[in-house]
Structure 1
Amino acid sequence: MGKVAKQSIQTTIFSYLGVVIGYVNVLWLYPYALDASELGTFRTIQDIGLLFVPFAQLGVGHGITRFFPQLKSNQSAFLSYGLALSMAGFAVVSAIFLGFRTQIINLFAVNSPEVIDFFGVILLITLFALLSSILDAYSRSFVKVAVPTLVREVFLRLLTGVLVGAYLLKWISFQQVMQGLVLVYGLAFLGVLIYLLWLGVLKFDFRWNTFPKGFRTSFLQFSLITFLATAASTLIMKIDSIMVSSMISLEANAIYTIAFSMALVIELPRRAISQVVMPVIADHFAKENLEEINALYKQISNRQLYICLLLFVGICANLDALYYFIPNREIYEAGKHVVVLIGLGKLFDVVFSVNSEILVFSKHYRFNLIATIGMSVLIVGLNYLLIPIYGIEGAALASVAVMFLFNFVKYLFLKIRLGFDPFSRDTLKIIFVGVTAFGPGYFNPFSLSPIPNILVTSLLVLGLYLFWSKLLGVGNEEWKWVKNKIKKSGS
């Protein structure tokens, strides 16, 4: 347990450090060093490359994590087998991409022709990100997660920051920046590779006939099911940015990307809670403690909603002041409504609680796959419908609609099949508290410079939030939880 605890602490530290570096990059360095068209190209090429990764991986990463404990030996052969499958998947993805090259060029030719010049970069990003993901999964199987997290969350973001910084200093051209992305992702892969070599666990063995009987069939079935769900989830996360580039412009995607990144702050507590609660849910299902799962379902919904709603209100109340610190803000302020809409969508994820986690660990896990694939198709259709009418706000509306429907469908399924319900009277009370705390953002009588304005507005929001929480008797457990987390991180 000592090693696991140490790995968990280090992984948490590296993850949050990566978040800080990522936000410095996205909200300051990139818009300062790159013009909107360049930033749109920079993000679009990476988004397309990373979108291809789960399709090329064929679910092998999750399959390695799931089936590794079943092998007392032959782990090296298992790694070789997984890498071979992934490379076959990459070959298929590359063939499809190159085979439909003309059609793909036509998608970007009118509104974002700059993207076409870097199609080769896309496939190389996919290749190195794919190989890194497989080695990540293999390292995770040895309960060695901290260093791969450091490489993925910190090292990769630092290198992209250095790359853009070199362009800012006029040491390299923008074309070299884009080509440099291949080097960045290649070095990230090399970092994990060297770490596994240093651990002495990276060996290659092609004696695949030594696997237990039926092992490969079970592994392939699980991997392909996971592949469909993961690919659909990635499509939901990445497709709006890519479609904004192809249907509007690269500048529009730059504006959308900045706004989307600001809204993502709202769901950070949800991610932390989700990671902690997954093994608890799995354990309850193993013991058939359904009542405990339902109680946890409600508790987490209220806890997430209370914390994340406060973040949402705080960001919306300070939106003008926050945009003040973004370089070339006169361009990027057009994304204010996107921040609000995406933030609202994240709140839907929050209030519907851990429905995905419950489905994954239940006997109904295949329903999550069906729902995810259905929603990925829906978001593409909604983007085609709404982007021509409402622009980047249309892409945000499509995301909000899909987030709500995705969660509502899973809610109904869990309600009907298992009798689970995350909502209670406290849910309405918390929503009321959030609505009343919106006031300072619209009726702030002070005319202050940005930093004092953020401080005053945030204090007013927090004061109202706490006042109504105390009056309605909500939030006590949530504040205790926050204090405990602060104490643990400081000890």
Structure 2
Amino acid sequence: MGKIASQSIQTAIFSYLGVVLGYINVLWLYPYSLDATQLGTFRTIQDLGLLFVPFAQLGVGHGITRFFPQLEKNQSAFLSYSLLFSLLGFALVSLLFFGFKEPIISLFATNSPEVVDFLGIVLLITLFSLLSSVLDAFARSYLKVAIPTFFREVFLRLLTSILVGIYLLKWISFEQVMQGLVLVYGIALVGVLIYLIWLGVLKLDFTWTNFPKGFRSSFLRFSLITFLATAASTLIMKIDSIMVSSMVSLEANAIYSIAFYMALVIELPRRAISQVSMPVIADHFAKNQIPEINRLYRQISNRQLYICLFLFALIWNSIDQIYHFVPNREIYQAGKWVVFYIGIGKIFDVAFSVNSEILVFSKYYRFNLILTIAMSALIILVNYWLIPIYGIEGAAMGSALVMLLFNLVKYAYLKAKLNLEPFSWDTAKILFIGFICLAIGILPELQLIPFLIILIKSTLVLGVYILLSKVLNVGNEEWKFIKKRLKKSEP
């Protein structure tokens, strides 16, 4: 866990820098510079482009992580092979996109016709994001996670800020903003390329005959089997936003997107830990170290749940004051309960730890495929049921419900097949602490300026969290780590 912790902290720093930029963008710059319909269009086009990435990738990302440890040489040939395979996937997605263009247009024509004008941008965003994701997976196999995270989480958002800022100054039109998204994703891709070249690991080699016997067929079979699971997982994350645009309106999607982003902060520690843990899990499976996987499974569950519940309590207790700083808050504050339901869904996900990652790198990876496809179909059905009744809150409730069911099934399967258990008495203690801190929100509202209310509530949540952690003897590893980092920063 120490190895993962040291790697994760660098990734987490860049992830949270990205959060700061994201908060500035999503909670102030975007709603200040763009009207609700423009913001809905801006987010929908990006979501569509990113939704197609796992379909084009054909599972190459997980394939690289799983099979990279089997290579003592020929890594450059493996990269070129993977890139070519993913480009083939992109060509297939492009053909399907143009083949089904009319149904796609009809999906948005009634409630969100503005999206139709920018559908051509979608595939270019897909292409650049696809290549970036393959290079990310390659860098991750060397445990070089931080810099690719910087380009994905920080640099990309910074460029987007500049793009929208130029529009705010009236130097370009909204149409040019949408076209500029292509340039933004392209520049971020170039940044990752330059980094890998600087590391000396990006060397294209098309000598594919020197792989170990059966390597290519095993890699292709694994990638093709797991790609549907990856694609379905992305569909679970993105489909609610797209369905809100098509079934309600672009303005509703703008409200939903801002609320969703607030809740997304809760799971950032999970993302940082997951990226570094994947190659470690793959290595443990390669050595058949099941007890080590179980230990990692439980440690990650407790660490993620402890940190993420604290973040959830901070956000939810100050949710009204956070919305106070959003331009046109009378429009966007309608997403308040979306934050709550999505937050609950994220807590479900982090509590069940790295179950998806374990399944993907185990011999039971086919089950993950079946389950993820079933869950993606279920969330579409649930959204069709709940969105007409509850609007954007229905989409959030559907996501939380499916996330719970998704994780319960994975938990039961891993328990039955590998006897893995992520939960302990510490889990119950952490949940109790989180519930108490969330309940702070029922206290009478203070009649002060919003910034002071946020400061007071956050201090109260932090104090209660630390006090109960000491009393119940949980979170010791996390606080020792924080103290260690603070001591290192002292002059």
Equivalent residue number for residue 386 of structure 1: 386
| Kept after mapping to 1: 8 A contact 2:145/2:276 | no
Amino acid of the residue matched to residue 217 of structure 1? S
Higher mean C-alpha displacement, 445-454 vs 40-49: 445-454
Is residue 2:330 matched to residue 1:330?
yes
Equivalent residue number for residue 218 of structure 1: 218
Q: CA deviation at 1:395?
A: 0.6
User: Aligned with 2:333: secondary structure?
Assistant: helix
Equivalent residue number for residue 105 of structure 1: 105
Q: Distance in 2 between matches of 1:8 and 1:230?
A: 22
Q: Distance in 2 between matches of 1:74 and 1:293?
A: 28
Q: Distance in 2 between matches of 1:469 and 1:92?
A: 52
Q: Distance in 1 between matches of 2:433 and 2:57?
A: 44
Q: Number of matched residues?
A: 489
Equivalent residue number for residue 454 of structure 1: 454
Percent identity, aligned pairs only? 72
Q: 1:326 to 1:352 in 2, by over 3 A?
A: same
Equivalent residue number for residue 129 of structure 1: 129
Q: Distance in 1 between matches of 2:138 and 2:393?
A: 40
Residue by residue, what CA displacement relative to the aligned partner does 1:54-92 show, whole Å, maximum 9, x if unpaired? 111112233344444555665554444333322221121
| Kept after mapping to 1: 8 A contact 2:58/2:89 | yes
| Kept after mapping to 2: 8 A contact 1:446/1:453 | yes
| Kept after mapping to 1: 8 A contact 2:58/2:86 | yes
Equivalent residue number for residue 435 of structure 1: 435
Equivalent residue number for residue 49 of structure 1: 49
Amino acid of the residue matched to residue 234 of structure 1? T
Equivalent residue number for residue 233 of structure 1: 233
| Kept after mapping to 1: 8 A contact 2:107/2:246 | yes
Q: Distance in 1 between matches of 2:486 and 2:475?
A: 17
Residue by residue, what CA displacement relative to the aligned partner does 1:348-395 show, whole Å, maximum 9, x if unpaired? 112223322333343333322222222111111111111111110111
Is residue 2:467 matched to residue 1:483?
no
Equivalent residue number for residue 420 of structure 2: 420
| Kept after mapping to 1: 8 A contact 2:65/2:278 | no
Equivalent residue number for residue 245 of structure 2: 245
Q: Distance in 2 between matches of 1:17 and 1:143?
A: 20
Q: Distance in 2 between matches of 1:14 and 1:490?
A: 21
Amino acid of the residue matched to residue 237 of structure 1? M
Q: TM-score, normalising length from structure 1? A: 0.90
Q: TM-score, normalising length from structure 2? A: 0.90
Q: CA deviation at 1:43?
A: 0.7
Is residue 2:302 matched to residue 1:317?
no
Q: 1:76 to 1:452 in 2, by over 3 A?
A: closer
Residue by residue, what CA displacement relative to the aligned partner does 1:225-247 show, whole Å, maximum 9, x if unpaired? 23122111111111111111111
Alignment root-mean-square deviation, CA:
3.0
Equivalent residue number for residue 395 of structure 2: 395
| Kept after mapping to 2: 8 A contact 1:444/1:457 | no
Residue by residue, what CA displacement relative to the aligned partner does 1:78-134 show, whole Å, maximum 9, x if unpaired? 444333322221121111111111111111001100000001100111122222233
Amino acid of the residue matched to residue 430 of structure 2? I
Q: Distance in 2 between matches of 1:78 and 1:474?
A: 44
Q: Distance in 2 between matches of 1:281 and 1:7?
A: 14
User: Aligned with 1:327: secondary structure?
Assistant: coil
Equivalent residue number for residue 257 of structure 2: 257
Q: CA deviation at 1:182?
A: 1.1
Which residues of structure 1 form unaligned runs of 5+?
none
Equivalent residue number for residue 159 of structure 1: 159
Q: CA deviation at 1:178?
A: 0.3
Q: Distance in 2 between matches of 1:31 and 1:408?
A: 37
Q: 1:486 to 1:342 in 2, by over 3 A?
A: farther
Q: CA deviation at 1:45?
A: 0.3
Q: Distance in 2 between matches of 1:141 and 1:156?
A: 22
Q: Distance in 1 between matches of 2:309 and 2:438?
A: 11
Equivalent residue number for residue 90 of structure 1: 90
Which residues of structure 2 form unaligned runs of 5+?
none
Residue by residue, what CA displacement relative to the aligned partner does 1:121-158 show, whole Å, maximum 9, x if unpaired? 00111122222233334455566555433332222111
Residue by residue, what CA displacement relative to the aligned partner does 1:401-422 show, whole Å, maximum 9, x if unpaired? 1110011111111222333333
Q: Distance in 1 between matches of 2:117 and 2:379?
A: 27
Give matches, 1:337-376, under 5 Å.
Answer: 337-376=337-376
Q: 1:57 to 1:474 in 2, by over 3 A?
A: closer
